[in-house]
Each structure stands twice: as C-alpha cells, then as structure tokens.
Copies of this chain bind each other. A is one copy, B any other.
Amino acid sequence: MNVSALLTSAAINIGVCVLLLSLYSVLRKQPSNLSVYFGRRLHQALPRRHDPPRFERFIPTPSWILKAWETPEEEILAIGGLDAIVFLRIIIFSLRVFSVATFVCVFLVLPVNYYGQEMHHKQIPSESLEVFTIENVKEGSRWLWAHCLALYIITCSACLLLYVEYKNISTMRLEYIKASSPNLSQFTVLVRSIPWSEQKSYSDSVFAFFSKYHGNSYLGHQMVYWCGTIRKLVTDAQKICSGVSSEDFSNKCKHLLNCGFCGGSAKTFRVLSKESESVKDNVFYRDLDATIKEKPLLFKQEVPAAFVFFRTRFAACVAAETLQSSNPMLWVTDFAPEPHDIYWSNLCIPYRQIWIRKIVTLLTTAVLMFLFLIPVTFVQGLTHLEQLQQAFPFLKNILEKKFINQVVTGYLPSVILLLFLLAVPPIMMAFSSVEGSVSRSGRKKSACCKVLYFVIWNVFFVNVLSGSVISQISVFSSPKSIPTQLAKAVPTQASFFMTYIFTSGWAGLSIELIQPLPLIYNLITRHILRRKDEACNWSYSFPYHTEVPRVLLFGHLGFTFSILAPLMLPFLLCYFLFALLVYRNQILNVYITKYEGGGQIWPAVHNCTIFSLVLTQIIGLGVFGLKLSTVGAGFMIPLIILTLLFNEYCRKRFSPIFKNTAAQVLIDLDQEDERCGRLQEIHQQLPSAYCQLTVSSHEFRPAGYNTPTSRDSSQRNSSSTPGTSLGTVDPFVDSESQPHKLEREPYAKFSNLVNK
C-alpha cells in the first residue's frame, strides 16, 4: 500500500463522514425523529425546543457540534452520571497523551524513519508506507536513540496522565458517594445463600440471624421471590384492576402490597426507634409470619436471598464486608446495588452455582475468541491479494484494476471485520447475564471487559500475527521469541490498521451519530405501522460495553504503533477529537441514565492502558533486538520494570476505593444525617426501596391518575438540581425536595415495567 492508496481510503471515509454528518444534521431537525435523536430529553419530558421553520430543517448546520463542545462537565455529570464522565475522561486522556506522542513522533521519529536508509526517495504520493515505518531504519543505526527517547517520553507522559486521571476519578467517586446521599442502597446489604431449615422460612432465618448478630443496627429485610411468581402476580393484578374504576384503585393496590412482598405498607414494615424498642419484640415479623402462613404458595417460592436494611451506612458496610458465618458459602453478604440497577432474575440463581458459572463463561469466552479466528483469517487474506487470486482465479481480471484493488485492500477488510465484530457485544452481554451478576452495571462492566479482551485479541493480535490459527498459537507457545515475532509483524500491519481507523473509527462514529437501527425502527413504526406512541418510548442506556473497548482499542493501536509507524498518530488524534464531540452529543441528547455504576470501569481502563504500554515496550525490545541496538534494548528493560511498578503502586493506592467505601466517608455522612435528623426519614423510605413488583406506567396506568411516572419525576428533579441529585435515577432517593412523595409511593411503585 502506498501513500496515495492511504489517501484514497482517507478521502472515501472523510466523504462518508461528511455525508453522514450532514444527514444527521438534517435528520435531527425533523420532529418525527425526535425519539431517535433526543431520546433522553423526551424521556425526561423536558420542554420541547422551538422547531425551526420547514425550510431550515433541510439545511445542514453545525450547531450540535458547538453545543457538544460548550457544555460544561458539571452538566454532563448531572445528565449522564459518573460513568459518562469516566468514559469521556478516557477520550480526554487519549487526546492528551497522543498529542504528546504525535508531537514527539512526527517531529523526531518520522524523519529518522524516512531517512533511515540511504535510498532514492520517490515522490511522496507514490512512496510506499513502509518508508515511514521503523522497517526503513537500517540495522545498527545510531539514530535508534530517537525511538528509545520517544518511548520514554510517551511512557512518562502516559503514566503521569494516568496517575492524574486515577486521582481525579477517585475524588469524583468520593464526591459522587457524598452527593448521591441519601442513597438507599448505602443502607442495604444483599444477603445470599441463606441456609435452608425445615422449621423456619428463609425470612424467619434472616430475621433470627440479623437480629441476633446485628441487633443494634438491623432494621428489617425484604425477601426475593421467584421471578415467575412475581410475573404471575402482576398479571393477576392487572386482570383484577383492568375492570376497576380509578377510585377503587388505591385500595386494591394496598391489598396487593399487603401480601408481604415489598414491605411497602405500614403493616408489613415498621421502623424501630433506636432507643425504646428492641428488634426482638418487633411486630413486623409476626405480621409477616402470619401473612406467609396464609399464603403457603408464597412461602415456598422465596429465594434464599434477601435485602437487609440497616440503621446506618457504616453498619451496612460492616455487614457487607465482614465474613458472616464460619461456613463462607452461607450468609454471603455484599453491598446491595441501587434499586434500579438490580438484575432481579439473577438473584434467583443459587449462590453455590456462581463460581462454576463464572468459570464456564470464562471458558466459553475463550473458546469464542478462538473460533472467531475463522472470519478474521478470511479478512486477512484480502490484504494479500496474491493469495486470493490464487484461490479464486476468476477474480484475477477484476482485482487487477487499480481502483478495485485499492478498495479491496484498503477498505473491504475492515468493513467485513466490523460487521463480524457487531455480533460480539450482544453475545458477551448474554454471557455476563449467565455469569450471575446481580446488578445491571456489574453485568455491563463484565461484558465490557470480555469485549475488551476479545477486540484486543481478535483485532490486534490476530491481524498482527496474520495467518492461520495454528501459526498464531505457535507464536505464543515459545514465549522467548514473542518480542521478536511482534517486532517483525506489527510494522507490516500499519496500513491495515490505518484503514481500520478510517472505517471503524471515523465512519463508526458517524454511524453512532446517525443511529441507523433506531432510525429505521422509528420510520417503520411511524410511517408503515402508524403507531406513534410506541416509537416515543424507545429509549436506552449508553452502551459502555461496546464503546469503552472500542476507544481503548484505538488507544492500544496508538501506543503500539507510536514509534513503529508514527504516520498513524495524526489520524488517531482526529478520531479522538471527533469521538469527544460525538459522545458528548450522544450523552446529552440520546441515551438515558437508568442506573449508575459509580465509575467502576476506570480500574479496567487503567489496566488496559498499562497493558498497552508494556506491550509497546516489549515490541520496542524486539525492535531494538532486530535492529542490533543493544543499548536501546537495554534501556527498555528498566522502562518495563518501572511501568509495572507504577501500576502496582496505583493498584495499592487507588483500586481499594473502587471496591469499598471508606469508613471515614460513610461515618461522616451518617453523623451529618443524624445531626440534621434526616436519618429517621431515610429509615421510613427504606421498606419501599427494593420492590420487586413494578409495572410500567403506560402498561398499567389507572384512568384519571395523571401525575407523571415516578421515574420521570425523579429525572426531572435531577436535571433541575444538578448539584445535589447527581446521578439519582432512584425515584425514592431525592426525597428531600419532595416531602410529600412518600404518600404517593404505593401508586408510584406500579408505574414501571416489571423488572426482569
């Protein structure tokens, strides 16, 4: 591939991008596409913009770019939560580090590569791309110190920036924990693997255990039931209520809630005042017991899992972190996810299965990673046209045409790869569901890591060590030769990865903007099926599990190719700049925040970046070995060691914050709440926080009950008071500003779709 082929590819993609951006700019102005491009605003029922006149609607304008650029970080934090900020920080970090890398590599490394050998240089457009890579530097060249220095500068700036980001995100996480308070999940512990007893129900066991061992701080609990049971009950309730007038609704609901399910009524859950009443003479349990005895069906369908509520955050933290029983497979406690974050159906999985499920999904993921080699090998064949011509002789005539040749070598492989890669995230998401994660954010994080391993292996390694399955595995069966093998293979693939940046990177971002699937769905439902309501409600959360690995993959490419093929860096820098604008826009307009992961993804990002850095250094080691520069190779080893030590330090210094919350922070919050007298109020909200029984608003909204759905109202709260209600999607959290809300809760609880 020569420079003109590269520029052809770049031109095609820039053309596609400009076209798509113009299309986006027009499409977003059409009122009928409101649900596609302004899903979040629609979902939160924000005041509608003034629609432009009919003529202006068809002229592309760059106003969205300005809006995305200008929006301050605080607003994004309030809208997208900490996860969105962390995601944008990945892009900003990449922008910063690759600005440094581009500067160093373009002005220092690129000239060394270009003039690396005494040769007659052709004109730039017809110059082969290999002339710009390290392959052009002759063996034993004295100018290899430039590569060594560049690698040192890149590593140092990356480590420095990583440290700063990790520190910032830790601070943000702490602030999030403080600001999201009162967050009812902080008072709640998820207990699993409750031991079975002949005499007692699970609920009684939980009561007996926690009132004995955590009597001072234990408030109450709520059992988890089989999802099938819940679904059946909801259907029954719907049948009953379907013929009932709105006046009777309230009473019916109260009866339904009285079944002891969600403890939502005053009868089944009572907050004990700290001084006067002991847990033992709690009427709550006697009541629940009576309820259960009346309903033997329900008693049988309890799952050995429960949410246990505590008086203070610290007490909940203690219960979650300490080992409860001398058999570690019983009474397994953990922090409860936020109510909207719970993945209910996985709560029904017996705890004993979890470890084996994890191992099985890990193995299946590994198998899938290797099976995926088949399409990748095919794609790789396309860049070696000679092989393809040999295999299919009838293609010879077509492929000899220059333009088709350029398109096939420069464009087609990455498009095919892209299409195959589209199938991966849903599969990994399914694996993560099977794995047994109890929270949606945990499931997404797990899927994100799986997709990340997958793309790094299947896009980077497999393409680099191109060829058959066997040749790739045989490379890894001799660890000593890995640096040399990589050093030989990586620079040859520079042209492929540059076109990959154009297709998967630039064009991928434009497609992300256009949102083709929702657009088509919207068109079909609106203009063919003529169902307007359904299209309106189609909103979804940010797909971190596809976007984080994608951005990290480009970062990985940037690091590994930085000194080998510096020509890639400017294109990459364009990608990150474009990505920042696009994702900011999408977070502001399209995606809704259903739950908050609390920035838990950052440690994985950090580890991935360190992996990329170390791999770059290992490749550097191989390159200096190949180029017979012992000094350069010698300088790589301390760099690798220092990078690993830096990682170890960050792991010690920051990663515990992402696993647990510090006692200091929790106790400070508890003490502040106690001083303000807010604790009592929180205790009263707890019983209704974790309700398994919820029905969607439009599925089951009684006639005449016209207040907005609870989620809507909370979302509106959070956007109107960005400072205090950061990331609060929990309708029962932000109650300070709405003291009247508690009375409305039995109704609100029916207003969401059955969580599955």
A residues at B contact (CB < 8 Å)? 170, 174, 212-213, 317-318, 321-329, 331, 355-356, 359, 477-480, 645, 648-649, 652-657, 660-665, 667
Contacts and interface: CB of A to CB of B under 8 A. Distances in A.
Contact of A328 (B321, B480, B653): B653
A662 B329 contact: no
Contact of A324 (B323, B326, B663): B663
A328 B664 contact: no
Given A645-B356, A645-B359, A648-B355, A663 B213 contact: yes
B359 A323 contact: no
Contacts of A323: 656-657, 660-663
A664 B322 CA distance: 10
Contacts of A653: 327-329
A664 B326 contact: yes
Contacts of A331: 664
Contact of A479 (B318, B356, B477, B662): B477
Contacts of A212: 667
Nearest to A177: B326
A372 B169 CA distance: 46
Given A477-B478, A477-B479, A652 B324 contact: no
21 contacts: A174-B326, A213-B667, A318-B322, A321-B322, A322-B662, A322-B663, A323-B660, A323-B662, A324-B663, A324-B664, A325-B662, A326-B664, A328-B652, A328-B653, A328-B657, A355-B649, A355-B652, A356-B645, A477-B478, A477-B479, A479-B479
A388 B477 CA distance: 35
A446 to B, nearest CB: 18
A172 B323 CA distance: 18
A661 B322 CA distance: 8
B317 A656 contact: no
B478 A665 contact: no
A206 to B, nearest CB: 14
A534 to B, nearest CB: 46
Contact of A665 (B326, B328, B652, B657): B326
A157 to B, nearest CB: 23
Nearest to A473: B480
A526 to B, nearest CB: 50
For A170, A324, A648, A656, the residue with the greatest tally of chain B CB atoms inside 10 Å of its CB is A656
Contacts of A663: 213, 322-325
Contacts of A665: 326
